[in-house]
Amino acid sequence: MTDLEVDVLVIGWGKGGKTLAGAMGRKGRTVALVEQSTAMYGGSCINIACVPTKDLVHSASARREHDDPQTYFAGALAGRDSLTDKLRARNRAMLAEVDAVTLIDGRARFIGTHEVEVTGGTDTLAIRADHIIINTGTEPARPAFPIESARLHDSTTIQHVDPLPERLVVIGGGYVGLEFAQMFAKFGSQVTVLDHGVEFMRREDREVAATVRALLEESGVQIVLDADVRGVRDRAESAIVEARVGEENREFEADAVLVAIGRRAVTGELDLDAAGVAQDERGFVRVDERLRTSARHIFAVGDVNGGPQFTFISLDDNRIVLDQLDGEGARSTDDRVAVPYTVFLTPPLARVGISEHEARALGRRVLVTSKAVADIAAMPRPKIVGETHGLITVLIDADSDLILGATVFSIDAQEVINLIALAMRHDITASDLRDGIWTHPSSTEALNEVLAALRPL
């Protein structure tokens, strides 16, 4: 028996799902939004991911040498929690104000192609919907090595570690691991990163990777490459991480251990088979270029569909599905061009397009320019704010003068990269950016100088 019938059912309160629910509700469609955790209203971004972690990054960077690490860290956590509480409440209010949207607390599972059962405590609710949106996101991946430790954390629990660890071992040298590594080093921890790879930041150009590593080491982070972690166990007052480093067995002692080895889809309790929804070999929901699953009335948006795991991609997923449900149905993931990303180190590392080593493989005539931030005379802002680390690299097609890719490792990188990405999407040339009139002092005006020094790749 069906207890509730709606036009659209959204499972999970992530960026794409909540935006879609609000848009459809304001258009007069009946919508139900189901979330299993009251602590996750608004989605991962505002509660445990983008916003709270960047708030902590900012707090860590603002700590002065004479600030007591433990006291300062406790204050930073209080500020983080206050911020997320406000954002969570506001996110809930924004949807609660839409009459056509029904908010439901509970765990959802499919019981048919159009039917979902939601369980909350001892209560159950059967919902039927014409269209269903899976928006359940991801969670930290679990390591395969044995764990006998109460000091192990993932990227969520480490945000409330108590007390601040004097020694932190980070397992994983990816972007998340490096953000937390530098953050905790700036809070006052001794940090060691155990990276399974033999090459640091292998996806980045070597000059960029070397510059980032130098910054991290200057911040107090020790990087250990070719580290194959075999297990984590507790001693009386610490944890021991056992690893094979090259040809040597080593032990690393820590007060806390962060495992940052990737994320996995949250689909285990959905019973997707009951709805005929297929998953890939990694457990992510399979979708086509319009985000339809193998059941055409069911869509998957956000991290759960296996695409790039960024909030802004989830927001664009919402646009694609909205176009399917209430538009021309033409929009797709194929429309995405020059999608940038930022790693929020201090300063941030942002990139868009191809890298130098990818450009070499293209066999095209390519020009490159690269300059250390400290040496860019036309960019005084880093000197003003006291953060001159980093470099800016831009790749240009020698025949068309169009930008192929860029790396901005600098203060304000998360903003400058958006301008470069916009130029790439609209065929604005490198010369246009080079000769642009930018405000002063700003980070954007670095383009005047950096793009004036091109050389063949």
Same domain, 350 and 319: no
pLDDT of residue 456: 85
Same domain, 376 and 434: yes
pLDDT of residue 361: 86
Same domain, 284 and 370: no
Same domain, 257 and 222: yes
Domain count, the chain: 3
Here the CATH number for the domain that contains residue 24 is: 3.50.50.60
pLDDT of residue 313: 98
pLDDT of residue 206: 94
Integer Cα distance of 79 and 98 in angstroms: 30
pLDDT of residue 399: 93
Q: How many Cβ atoms from other residues are within 10 Å of residue 106's Cβ?
A: 15
Same domain, 90 and 32: yes
Q: Are strands 101-105 and 31-35 parallel, antiparallel or unpaired?
A: parallel
Same domain, 122 and 204: no
Same domain, 352 and 297: no
* Residue-by-residue pLDDT tens, the chain, 457 positions: 689 999 999 999 999 999 999 999 999 999 999 999 999 999 999 999 999 999 999 999 999 999 999 999 999 999 999 999 999 999 999 999 999 999 999 999 999 999 999 999 999 999 999 999 999 999 999 999 999 999 999 999 999 999 999 999 999 999 999 999 999 999 999 999 999 999 999 999 999 999 999 999 999 999 999 999 999 999 999 999 999 999 999 999 999 999 999 999 999 999 999 999 999 999 999 999 999 999 999 999 999 999 999 999 999 999 999 999 999 999 999 999 999 999 999 999 999 999 988 988 888 899 999 999 999 999 999 999 999 999 999 999 999 999 999 999 999 999 999 999 999 999 999 999 999 999 999 999 999 999 999 888 7
pLDDT of residue 457: 75
Helices 175-187, 69-96: inter-axial angle, 10-degree rounding: 130
Same domain, 132 and 11: yes
Which of 261, 289, 321 corresponds to the end of one domain? 261
Query: Which residues participate in catalysis according to the annotation?
Result: 440
Q: Are strands 107-110 and 115-120 parallel, antiparallel or unpaired?
A: antiparallel
Structural domain span for residue 222? 147-261
Integer Cα distance of 293 and 34 in angstroms: 19
CA pseudo-torsion sign 413, 382, 374, 422: positive
Integer Cα distance of 211 and 349 in angstroms: 11
Eight-state DSSP code of residue 1: -
Same domain, 102 and 121: yes
pLDDT of residue 135: 98
- The pTM assigned to this predicted structure is 0.96
Same domain, 362 and 436: yes
Eight-state DSSP code of residue 445: T
Same domain, 204 and 94: no
Which of 261, 285, 309 corresponds to the end of one domain? 261
Which of 286, 307, 335 corresponds to the end of one domain? 335
Integer Cα distance of 144 and 296 in angstroms: 35
- Residue 414 three-state SS: helix
Residues 6+ apart with CB under 8 A from 60: 76, 182, 183, 184, 186, 187, 346
